[in-house]
Structure 1
């Protein structure tokens, strides 16, 4: 499911967006502060043979902080990779059953790549089902839009004098 919650103006993106590849998972609970992404079928087990991208775009002048809330990814063969931007640099490659540290972008785009093999046979019963979920929040000043809009109104008022 593709969800986009964005609004652009002369100053850039004002709200943000999250775009998963079709059939890969979902983005939901989106607000102007962030949202949630999760593996396909969450809270149940994700299917085999996935090669997925999630692209998160934050409002202009902000960064993205990604925090995993559930993380059970087959230790040997499935991977979640977090990129600062659309493809480079790789911030971290993840698998296993421990919640990873938070990741923060340096700009307004973060990409999460999720790849799986042909089964989840290596997931220990204590860690099943294989699945993951993360929240993302937009960090930094979103007040620049208010200031910029007010500056435009003030300039328009001056021009009308």
Structure 2
């Protein structure tokens, strides 16, 4: 969850008081996988109540495209579990496409790029943020760049 507060110079009377308050609660400790930007499409598939699923590049198995984008995916498995992420396909345009992956404390994938499948990642918590970043591509029209990974609650 992220909450932002922004204010700017005001011409309010010195006696005026402005404030705000928010209340939140956890309503479920289930499983989820979701992209934070609808423009990135459906990056999560086969999500189960057991804490498994697939996360993949936009348009998978087709090419993820040549436009610049930042796609963020949040994976949550049941409390007390960790996430094991295993890439099954990994072909990113070197220097133009990369993946970052972290939980609340640790960075597991730090701008990985290219075509070498990253090692299996196991988080220390039940939440993981994946960020897929692509810059304007210079690839030939015949090249197909994409990626896919499975995740499991362990």
TM-score after normalising by structure 1? 0.70
Task: Indicate how the Cα distance of structure 1 residues 74 and 120 shifts in structure 2: closer, same or farther if over 3 A, else same.
Answer: same
Counterpart for residue 159 of structure 1: none
Q: Does 1:110 align with 2:128?
A: yes
Deviations 1:88-134 (A, max 9, x none): 532222111011101111011001011101115179x6xx4100001
Counterpart for residue 6 of structure 2: none
Match of 1:92 among 96, 109, 124: 109
Deviations 1:28-66 (A, max 9, x none): 101113100111110010022111100001101100011
Alignment of 1:1-161 (within 5 A): 13=29, 15-21=30-36, 22-25=38-41, 26-31=43-48, 32-47=50-65, 48-85=67-104, 88-93=105-110, 94-121=112-139, 128-139=143-154
Greater strand share, structure number: 1
List runs of 5+ in structure 2 lacking aligned partners.
Answer: 1-25
Using the TM superposition, name which of 76-85 and 110-119 deviates more: 76-85
Task: Indicate how the Cα distance of structure 1 residues 71 and 120 shifts in structure 2: closer, same or farther if over 3 A, else same.
Answer: farther
Q: Give runs of ≥4 in structure 1 deviating > 2 Å.
A: none
Contact (CA 8 Å) 1:120, 1:130: kept in 2 or not? no
Deviations 1:9-33 (A, max 9, x none): 7xx61x3111112122421101113
The two structures, once aligned, show a CA RMSD in angstroms of: 2.0
TM-score after normalising by structure 2? 0.73
Greater helix share, structure number: 1
Aligned length: 124
